[in-house]
Structure 1
Amino acid sequence: MNTQPSSFAPAFAEPFTMAQVDAYDWSSLAGELDGFGCAILPKLLAPEECDAISRLYPEERHFRSHIIMARHGFGRGEYRYFNYPLPGLLGGLRTALYPHLADIANRWNERMGVEERYPDEHAAFLKRCHEAGQRRPTPLLLQYVPGDFNCLHQDLYGELAFPIQVAILLSEPGRDFTGGEFVLTEQRPRMQSRVDVVPLRQGDAVAFAVHNRPVRGTKGSYRVNLRHGVSRVRSGMRHTVGIIFHDAR
């Protein structure tokens, strides 16, 4: 696998990415993820970085596949999966975010009685994915226009699935588009689903549970099931980049 940065190189080199990600209050973010299944990382990307990634969408050389959601019953809209090598900005973010989220994921698995533990570095986790036959990159760029939406779903691409992922809003609500809110639902046993509409601005990221997370009950922790989606875009165009940490078959 070639993980070297491509020729796309906005003014955001990987070492600076690491420093910016490390600067967040990860204790507070972990508390949000533990309590609600999601946490916002404000201003993870600058506006010019968001615009640079959005402009990649029509350039097919950066992508391995193009998905039209309506053809698969996923909703309306479209997205493209990036090829390896990832753009340097996205590869750097994937590398920088993973260790912080792996700490949380390992605690979650311990509480849920799941044996899987995640290594400290993302390269080591990708090696596990590739040894299991999961070699296709999963970061993706999504595009929505009026009437588009993304049905509630979970991004699971093989036996190995990292339990937390990150989505970064690349467009500015109210200026570039209206509607199109990020939505997270949580189903607890014998209860109605809980819905969380997550407010994001351009450059904000949301880290959220892909599938299950632990919730503390009277007899210890139990698992709850989560799904995520995007509400109907009412005007304009909305771009989002999704950073998924496991690779696909």
Structure 2
Amino acid sequence: MTHTHHLEGTIAERVDAANWDALTDEADAYGSALTGRLLTPDECTAIAALYDQDHCFRNTVDMARHRFGSGQYRYFTHDLPDSVRQLREAFYPHLLPIARDWATRLGRPSPWPDTLEDWLAHCHQAGQTKSAQILLRYGAGDWNALHRDVFGDAVFPLQVVIGLNAPGVDYSGGEFIMTEQRPRAQSRGTSITLPQGHGLVFTTGDRPVASRRGWSTGPMRHGVSTIRSGHRRTLGLVFHDAT
């Protein structure tokens, strides 16, 4: 496996440089789209190492205790590390046109303003005041049940997960999985191997699906398959806050 130890530009510039036309088409077709490399291995290691710094987090969740799967994740405070903040702020303006287009096709309101700051202010006014950015940690035998990251009425329809470890090197198994409930048909499943430093854009809850009568809703859920060996850490970027 080839590792890129240096990437040009700032984190925001790397996100901006992604092929957003292709990513939009892929998200439309499948409900998810994989970016190119956004972080170097050293940058991934630095973010993963934050997990042991208690002051960075507001809450820790043991997934087995809540029957969410097996493993652990921590919610960041609003005082986000620079790299996490830069990623979130850089993604929002690129995801916004997709979100608005999907809302139009599904005949839904499009409440998302032009800036992330204004949208988060809206979340807070709706009573969603807690940071929802997460750092997830899995070991051998751990997994994440199919779910949606919805924490209230204020929801942004897309989110991002970034791989912090190298599949096939640091761990085996642990594919990102999604299921889609198809209209008048059985569900469709997909699995994605998340390369280190790459981001996966995916739907928070559903996507528009073309039908004979126009557009219908394709409900989707996401999770992680069982880690067979090693350790897997990921960064989750959510664009609405939690209650």
TM-score relative to the length of structure 1: 0.93
Whether 2:161 is the aligned partner of 1:167: answer yes
Please point out which of 103, 106, 112 is paired with 2:100: 106
User: For 1:118-151, what per-residue CA distance to the aligned partner results, in whole angstroms no more than 9, with x for missing partners?
Assistant: 1111111101001111110111000001110000
Distance 1:136 1:194 in 2: 33
Aligned residue runs from structure 1 range 143-182, under 5 A: 143-182=137-176
2:119 matches 1:129:
no
Please name the residue that 2:228 is paired with. Answer: 234
**What 5-or-longer segments of structure 1 have no aligned partner?**
1-10
Give yes or no for contact 1:95–1:122 (8 Å, CA) kept in 2: yes
Code of the residue aligned with 1:223 in structure 2: it is T
Aligned mates of 1:53, 1:200 — CA distance in 2 = 16
CA distance in 2, matches of 1:121, 1:93: 14
Q: Does 2:7 correspond to 1:42?
A: no
Q: Give 1:25's match in structure 2, choosing from 16, 19, 22.
A: 19
Q: Distance in 2 between matches of 1:200 and 1:93?
A: 17
Cα distance in 1, alignment partners of residues 66 and 204 from structure 2: 20
**1:53 matched residue in structure 2:** 47
Q: Which residue identity is paired with 1:22?
A: D
**2:52 paired with 1:70:** no
Unpaired stretches in structure 2, ≥5 consecutive residues? 1-5
Residue of structure 1 in register with 2:3 after alignment:
none
RMSD: 1.3
Equivalent residue for 1:7? Answer: none
The aligned counterpart of 2:204 is 210
Q: How many angstroms apart in 2 are the aligned matches of 1:229 and 1:55?
A: 23
Give the drift of 1:217: 1.1
Given residue 41 of structure 1, which amino acid in structure 2 is its aligned partner? T
TM-score by length of 2: 0.95
Q: Which residue of 2 aligns with 1:3?
A: none
Check whether the contact 2:175–2:191 (CA below 8 A) recurs between aligned residues: yes
**Contact in 2 for aligned 1:183/1:195 (Cα 8 Å):** yes
Task: Give the drift of 1:18.
Answer: 2.1
2:237 is the alignment partner of 1:248: no
- Matching residue of 2:114: 120
Name the count of aligned residue pairs: 237
- Over the matched positions of the two proteins, sequence identity in percent amounts to 46
How many angstroms does 1:19 deviate by?
A: 1.4
